[in-house]
Chain A
Amino acid sequence: MRIVIVGAGEVGYQIARRLASEAKEVVVIDKSEEALRRFGDLLDVQTVLGSGANPRVLDEAGLAAAEIMLAVTDSDETNLIACLFAQALAPHLSKIVRVRNPDYLRYQEKTNRLLAVDRFINPEAETVKTILRLIDLPGAVESSEFAGGRILFLGLRLAKNCSLATVKLADLRRNISDLRFIIGAIVRQNRLIIPSGGDRLEAGDLVYVVCDKSDSKAVIELFGCPVAPLRSICVIGGGNVGAGLARELEARHYQVKLIERDPQRCRQLAGELDRTVVLHGDATDQGLLEEENVGHMDLVVALTRDDETNILSCLLAKSLGVGRSLARVNKFNYLPVVQAVGVEHTVSTRLSAINSILQSIRRGKVLSAVSIKGEEAEAMEAVALEHSGVVGKPLRELKFPRGAIVLCVMRGEKVIIPTGDFVIEPQDRIIILATRNSISRVERALMVTLEYF
């Protein structure tokens, strides 16, 4: 199984690492020798020096023998041209392409006859969507969607004086009447727990909950973390994510300030954005934050490319009195520290890129997947196949491994939070949470065979 990755950037690296660790043949193409050296040194992959938009280089990388091509360079044009040549050189290839400029997607239908792209991904746009969901539900620490937005998968921090603390999970349902939700995972003191009925919640736990979108506000209230709606938001960093977020926020009538360090980029942003106040300066400059009254704003979102700057500017803003803060953190090992020092939310473009690429290369039956707590566990949405072991038996009788749990079932348009007596029917869409090391056993149980390729 050969996979060609065009572009040795961060996304390319993470995907290559993941695939190489699963013993796939990975070939990476990039123009930069230095970037390739990092791949060659750290990962078991082959590297080819040259532009991905050059047919000779593509041929050299053995495109004809490959099954999948990922075009994930920073340049949309390089990615698209790589696809064009790939289509000419190896028409059987599946192509996954990162495209940032929405104009390309707008003409997708017309151009796809030429490019035959199987899936366009835009991790930055995904990240913006994630942040918007968090802003929409400011009480949640994390928030992702399943079933086309019908079902939310929320990470909630259990409040100190919340009535749910110390309650046994098995008794939970009796305590909370008719609110429909299910607890999928708990992160306690940096450990991931897939809970069973005997476990208890503790104050300070990060609890992962699945619920219907319409119930989300009530669930957040139940966990004791409701937050007043946000109005004024300060975005730090005017890259693609920052600018995209500011554009969405101003369309939703939030009051937005955007701080960017590069004067040239500032001018460009000032041209693109309408009501957003674009400020030129360094977000770790306390004078600027005070001058612009950032301390009195509801939320600070730090989205520069630099993790340390993001964390530091969030902390600085917090010290000035800002309500909540969100930092873009790409290094997974920072995550526990960041929340410990008081930054409420984190997002990761890298994670969302990996999520969307993995989703699209797991052929067919898995519809979407979300990694939680770094990559320790994964929530995924799959279709129950007629012949799989999960169909036709009550859930309690299924031989599910410890570390995996059926969270939710979509039958047609109906969202069902299953109990032990629930029977899955063919064509139901089921959302399963599984830890990394139980995934293969889940596969077997489902007979969905989460075949990667």
Chain B
Amino acid sequence: MRWGYVLTAVGAVTLCVGLSMLAAVPFSLAYGAADLWPLLQSCALTSVFGGGLVLVCRGYPERAVSHREGMAVTTLCWLSACLFGALPFILAGTFPAIHDCFFESFSGFTTTGASVLTDIEAVPRGLLFWRSLTHWLGGMGIIVLSLAILPFLGVGGMQLYRAEVPGPVPDKLTPRIKDTAAALWKVYILFSAIEAVLLMAGGMDLFDALCHTFGTMATGGFSTRNASLAAYDSPFVQWVVVAFMLCAGVNFSLHYNLLLRRFRPVWKDTELRLYLGLFLAVTGIVWIAVSLSGQLGGEAALRHAAFQVSSILTTTGFASYDYELWPFLPQALLLGCMFIGGCAGSTGGGMKVMRLALLVRTAYTELLRLIHPRGVYQVKFGGRVLSPDVISGIWGFSSIWLASFVLGALALTACNVDVMTSFSAAVAALGNIGPGLGLVGPTDNYAFMPAAAKWTLMLLMLLGRLEIFTVVILLVPEFWRK
């Protein structure tokens, strides 16, 4: 482990995070400037810390960056971003307790969208903008962003990229990792711009449109309103958000292909088909169940069903309606969707459609083996044969993911949180969703949780965002041996 290189990389990424705080300044100025100083101070502090690290360590790798260093850099960058991202809240005194500031920042960068704010609308606009911006930065990934703009990271780029965008089968879109990162961000920015324009056409002002765009495209879920998207009584706005949530849950390399007018790989993509099929099926059932219960009717029933299903399936966590008022079946379906999440390579969280599909397929193959003892089977996905390594990697991921979920939920119950709330909060944090069931439903927030429970949730969010291995591996003693 070359600490010089690791710390330089962390410093550089921290510097980027610090500078990005400046983006909130215009909104602070436009809406009374109550939060101008905290923002500028945090920007200065973060940038000085990051820049200082780079200047002091000056570790530019001459040799290839190892897999281990990639993991360490990625995890430390995320920790640094989440901690420094809390500075504006701390300096502005938004929350009485310091761990609440960190919670909000972790929840932002990991695109969870779980909030400890009881009255969002009372917070100055500059801070709210920063809060939503953390989503947007974390959504496509701060490492991917840095890869696109910091040339010296390019040397170990692939290791860093793999550590941040693990996925079952990593796909590089272009020969150079820097171009891949840039391409992903370009697609991301393009989609964000289109959504923001559409939302403004639906009646939002620039500030609200941008904040909600950040929350949607990053599948985050922070809103600028206490009632989330339910505050906008416009079917147009809600349908736009549904469409873009769904887009954000799709593998971004498919969007990239679309922009290059390569339609065939997109049309043939098995994961995309499963994802959309799942969305349509669950939406259909929820729609029927909600309509039968008589709470909603007509277009509203369909809209809220589609909204909540896409919001939970893509792990965004926006609310257009309090689904805890719905019959039990839709609630259970939404809970199930929390485990699934979006597609691999999207900004969504959860276990990812591809992994679950592969688990199901492997299990089915085992059944076939019992029927035809001399049959020879290969697990395939999208016409490609997957090597046993990939499959065992997925089993490993899933078992640690589920173990983290159970242990996290147990830790929450140990903090004296009720069972339903604990389990749904654990999956909502690990899957980077936000709202759960019970006391953390779509109309509630996490403010009441004890401090220990909040730290547990922060850890789960980070685990979920970096897809377990990158973080957990730092806790394995073997990792640190020479």
Chain A residues near B (Cβ < 8 Å): 263, 266-267, 269-271, 274, 277-281, 288, 291-292
| Alpha-carbon separation in the docked complex, A145 to B172 (Å) | 48
Shortest C-beta distance, B362 to chain A (Å), equals: 14
Instruction: Give the residues in chain A near B378, CB-CB below 8 Å.
Output: 267, 270-271
Instruction: Give the residues in chain B near A269, CB-CB below 8 Å.
Output: 376
Query: Which of A263, A271, A279 lies in contact with B375, CB distance below 8 A?
Result: A279
| Alpha-carbon separation in the docked complex, A163 to B376 (Å) | 49
Binary per-residue interface labels of chain B (9-47) against chain A in the complex, 1 for a CB within 8 Å, 0 otherwise:
000000000000000000000000000000000000000
Chain B residues near A (Cβ < 8 Å): 368, 372-378, 380, 385
| Alpha-carbon separation in the docked complex, A267 to B373 (Å) | 15
The answer to whether B372 and A267 touch across the interface, beta carbons within 8 angstroms, is no
The answer to whether B373 and A291 touch across the interface, beta carbons within 8 angstroms, is yes
Of the A-B pairs whose beta carbons lie under 8 Å apart in the complex, a sample of 20, sorted by A's number, is: A263-B376, A266-B376, A267-B378, A270-B376, A270-B377, A270-B378, A271-B378, A274-B380, A277-B372, A278-B375, A278-B376, A279-B372, A279-B374, A280-B374, A280-B375, A281-B374, A288-B374, A291-B373, A291-B374, A292-B372
The answer to whether A278 and B377 touch across the interface, beta carbons within 8 angstroms, is yes
| Centre residue among B368, B373, B378 by max chain A CB count within 10 A | B378
| Centre residue among A274, A277, A288 by max chain B CB count within 10 A | A277
Shortest C-beta distance, A238 to chain B (Å), equals: 10
Instruction: Give the residues in chain B near A277, CB-CB below 8 Å.
Output: 368, 372, 375
Shortest C-beta distance, A292 to chain B (Å), equals: 7
| Alpha-carbon separation in the docked complex, A258 to B376 (Å) | 10
| Alpha-carbon separation in the docked complex, A278 to B372 (Å) | 9
| Alpha-carbon separation in the docked complex, A341 to B174 (Å) | 61
| Alpha-carbon separation in the docked complex, A14 to B412 (Å) | 79
Q: Which residue of A lies closest to B377 (CB)?
A: A270
**Which 8 pairs between the two chains have the least Cβ-Cβ distance?**
A271-B385, A266-B376, A270-B378, A271-B378, A278-B376, A270-B376, A280-B376, A279-B374
| Alpha-carbon separation in the docked complex, A201 to B142 (Å) | 84
Instruction: Give the residues in chain B near A270, CB-CB below 8 Å.
Output: 376-378, 385
| Centre residue among A263, A271, A278, A280 by max chain B CB count within 10 A | A271
Besides A277-B368, A292-B374, 18 other A-B contacts (C-beta < 8 A): A263-B376, A266-B376, A267-B376, A267-B378, A269-B376, A270-B376, A270-B377, A270-B378, A270-B385, A271-B378, A271-B380, A271-B385, A274-B380, A277-B372, A279-B372, A280-B374, A280-B376, A292-B372
| Alpha-carbon separation in the docked complex, A274 to B385 (Å) | 11
Shortest C-beta distance, A294 to chain B (Å), equals: 12
Instruction: Give the residues in chain A near B374, CB-CB below 8 Å.
Output: 279-281, 288, 291-292
| Alpha-carbon separation in the docked complex, A412 to B350 (Å) | 64
Shortest C-beta distance, A284 to chain B (Å), equals: 14
Q: Which residue of B lies closest to A287 (CB)?
A: B374
Instruction: Give the residues in chain B near A281, CB-CB below 8 Å.
Output: 374
| Alpha-carbon separation in the docked complex, A133 to B377 (Å) | 29
Shortest C-beta distance, A32 to chain B (Å), equals: 32
Q: Which residue of B lies closest to A288 (CB)?
A: B374
| Alpha-carbon separation in the docked complex, A281 to B375 (Å) | 9
Instruction: Give the residues in chain B near A263, CB-CB below 8 Å.
Output: 376
Shortest C-beta distance, A297 to chain B (Å), equals: 14
Instruction: Give the residues in chain B near A266, CB-CB below 8 Å.
Output: 376
| Alpha-carbon separation in the docked complex, A292 to B372 (Å) | 7
Instruction: Give the residues in chain A near B385, CB-CB below 8 Å.
Output: 270-271
| Alpha-carbon separation in the docked complex, A316 to B376 (Å) | 23
Q: Which residue of B lies closest to A274 (CB)?
A: B380
Shortest C-beta distance, B388 to chain A (Å), equals: 11
| Alpha-carbon separation in the docked complex, A291 to B373 (Å) | 9
Instruction: Give the residues in chain A near B377, CB-CB below 8 Å.
Output: 270, 278
Instruction: Give the residues in chain B near A271, CB-CB below 8 Å.
Output: 378, 380, 385
| Centre residue among A266, A270, A292 by max chain B CB count within 10 A | A270
| Alpha-carbon separation in the docked complex, A269 to B376 (Å) | 9
Instruction: Give the residues in chain B near A274, CB-CB below 8 Å.
Output: 380
